[in-house]
């Protein structure tokens, strides 16, 4: 089982204590403030295990300690249903194997209502963001659902950006050690061209001409 410290980086490519992690936490926090929720979480998809893993929780420090790393099976409860349908879901909690912390005004920390919105990168599900209320009689509205759908969309863009940046960094790795020794010829060529594009963009046309000439020679040999 992945720990909370590894969930974001392992499943989303978002490094711990990174700018992207801070933005994701800000999005969950902002959503809570607007819809009047008590707690909110970001869960990431572990496709190999058909489960959602709690990666961050805001609103209550004790809940965050209890929930981080816990799993919700795909399709179970409001959160799992949002993942399965790839649509915002609102309702009373129906999956009881994951418990919140004890609340000041309640003997048991059971949510009154839950809202969950799927995070997508393109057409691919990568996680779910949630809002939870412990207030008796609290109901999330259709406007709240629309807001959370938009927040989840922005969160998906943040994840996509983090993945793209990680890919660029891998291509531009300046360390010539064992990583380069083990890299394929194609990867070394890609890294070289990437470094030239970054440091000497004025030479790109010459590089393109040279590569084209090499390609023609290879085809003739």
- The residues, ordered by sequence, that sit 6+ positions from 208 with a Cβ below 8 Å of its Cβ are none
| In the block, residue with structure tokens 């809202």 | 115
Strands 89-91 and 124-133: unpaired
Complete edge-to-edge strand list for the sheet that includes strand 113-121: 71-73, 51-58, 39-46, 124-133, 113-121, 89-91
pLDDT tens-digit profile of 169-203? 555 555 544 444 444 555 555 556 555 655 666 66
Domains delineated in the chain: 4-167 (3.30.450.40), 172-220 (no CATH)
Spatial separation of the C-alpha atoms in residues 65 and 21, rounded to whole Å: 17
User: pTM of the full predicted structure?
Assistant: 0.70
| pLDDT > 90 in the chain, percent | 40
Residue 13 has pLDDT above 70, yes or no: yes
pLDDT, residue 122, reads: 87
Mean pLDDT of 10-34: 86
**Does pLDDT of 216 surpass 80?**
no
pLDDT of 151 reads: 92
Of 21, 83, 29, the closest CA to residue 52 belongs to: 83
Tens of pLDDT, residues 50-106 = 999 999 999 888 888 888 889 999 999 999 999 999 999 999 887 666 655 444 344
* Those residues with Cβ within 8 angstroms of residue 28's Cβ, 6 or more apart along the chain or in another chain: 40, 41, 42, 56, 58, 129, 151
Structure letter (DSSP) for residue 175: -
Burial class (CB in 10 A: 0-12, 13-18, 19+), 11: buried
Q: What span, in angstroms and rounded, lies between the C-alpha atoms of 217 and 77?
A: 61
Strands 39-46 and 113-121: unpaired
- 59 with 47: CB under 8 angstroms? no
Which tokens go with 137? 């009689």
Cα 178 to Cα 165: distance, rounded to the nearest angstrom = 22
Mean pLDDT of the chain: 78
Alpha-carbon span 31 to 3, nearest angstrom: 25
Average pLDDT over residues 157-179: 63
Provide the total of helices (H) and of strands (E) in the chain, helices listed first: 8, 6
Half-sphere exposure of 6 (CA within 13 A, CB side): 5
pLDDT of residue 128: 97
Query: Closest Cα to residue 55, out of 128, 131, 150, 146?
Result: 128
Q: CB 73: neighbour CB atoms within 10 A?
A: 15
Q: Which two tokens stand for residue 176?
A: 């010539």
């Amino acid at each position: 089982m992945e720990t909370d410290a590894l969930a974001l980086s392992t499943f989303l490519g978002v490094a711990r204590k990174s700018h992207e992690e801070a933005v994701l936490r800000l999005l969950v926090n902002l959503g809570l403030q607007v819809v009047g929720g008590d707690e909110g979480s970001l869960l990431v998809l572990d496709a190999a295990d058909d489960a959602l893993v709690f990666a961050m929780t805001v609103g209550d420090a004790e809940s965050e300690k209890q929930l981080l790393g816990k799993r919700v099976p795909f399709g179970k409860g409001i959160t799992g249903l949002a993942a399965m349908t790839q649509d915002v879901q609102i309702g009373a909690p129906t999956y009881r194997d994951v418990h919140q912390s004890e609340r000041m005004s309640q003997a048991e920390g059971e949510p009154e209502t839950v809202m969950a919105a799927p995070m997508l990168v393109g057409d691919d599900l990568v996680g779910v963001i949630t809002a939870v209320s412990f207030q008796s009689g609290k109901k999330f509205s259709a406007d709240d659902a629309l807001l959370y759908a938009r927040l989840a969309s922005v969160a998906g863009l943040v994840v996509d950006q983090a993945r793209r940046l990680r890919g660029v960094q891998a291509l531009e790795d300046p360390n010539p050690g064992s990583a380069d020794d083990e890299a394929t010829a194609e990867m070394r060529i890609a890294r070289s061209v990437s470094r030239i594009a970054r440091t000497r963009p004025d030479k790109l046309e010459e590089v393109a001409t040279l590569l084209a000439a090499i390609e023609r020679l290879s085809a003739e040999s």
